[in-house]
Amino acid sequence: MRFWQALSHTEPEQIVEVARIAEAVGFHGVVASDHLFYPEKMASAYPYSEDGKPGFAKDTPWLEPGALLAAIGGATRTLWLSHAVMILPLRHPLEVAKSLATVSRIAGGRVALGAGVGWMKEEFDQLGRDFHTRGRRTDEMIEVMRKLWASGGPVEHHGRFFDFDPIWMHPTPAEPIPIWIGGQSEPALRRAARLGDGWIASGCDVSEVEDWTRRLDALRREAGRSREPFSVLVPLASLPTVEDARRCADLGVDAVLWPLAFQLGKPSSSIDDKRRALEDFADRVIARVG
């Protein structure tokens, strides 16, 4: 079992140092979240809460994930980096391929792409992206990026949403970049089974994990991919215990993810507060789970 730390909503001036501390105490990786803005008036419903309201405020800081992961990659030596998740269809696949290849080179290959299709229509409207085709664009983007990462060129693509003649893109990633699909909708699970190297849940209870992993196993068999490597990362909705981690491991989960704010219980804190919390979790859980 591996443990990842969610850096979402960490104070921007502290975030690289928090990642260094997480690496030092035994975390395997960190994730960065993604939103471009928060609209003053929002009609979109957040899919992971009962009332449709997101659990963050209008002034919550959202750092650009490519720049953030590159900064952390240059400041660490073993820590893995991912998004949880990047809103992939807001971008063009050439932009994402370049950004992730750059992070991979800076971090020596320690990067994965956590990809979701998004839920906030207002972001798509502002960028002129079609909200209703975002799933199909995501599928095609994955195809494009993998072709670019595999060789650097010449690569051409003539699809429904993206079309370009032969190009070269260098550098290529230092190591293959896993693509972990985020989301708990049926389309997201099917996308993970068909196209993903893994799956990232949203916050859930340990009691829900068995149903998700059983469904993923069935979909991967249906897609003829049950023998291929596949990672499952689960963000738990509460601070995980040793028993939680062991139960998740028994269900085929590779990594447990949790945000530091769960342990601190407050929106802002000092570096010393965060260091003590990370060290405490490492002593109580990481060291005992192994």
Residue-wise pLDDT for 230-276, tens only, equals 999 999 988 899 999 999 999 999 999 988 877 787 778 999 999 99
Q: What is the pTM of this model?
A: 0.95
Closest among 119, 130, 121, 112 to 229, alpha carbons compared: 112
d(CA 105, CA 190): 31
pLDDT at 107 over 90: yes
pLDDT at 287 over 90: yes
Q: Which two tokens stand for residue 153?
A: 């060129």
**What is the percent of the chain with per-residue pLDDT over 90, rounded to a whole number?**
87
Closest among 203, 238, 201, 195 to 219, alpha carbons compared: 195
pLDDT at 9: 81
pLDDT at 36: 95
Range of the domain at 55: 2-289
d(CA 128, CA 121): 11
Q: What is the CATH number of the domain that holds 23?
A: 3.20.20.30
Choose the weakest-confidence range: 38-47, 182-191, 257-266.
257-266
Q: Structurally, how many domains does the chain consist of? A: 1
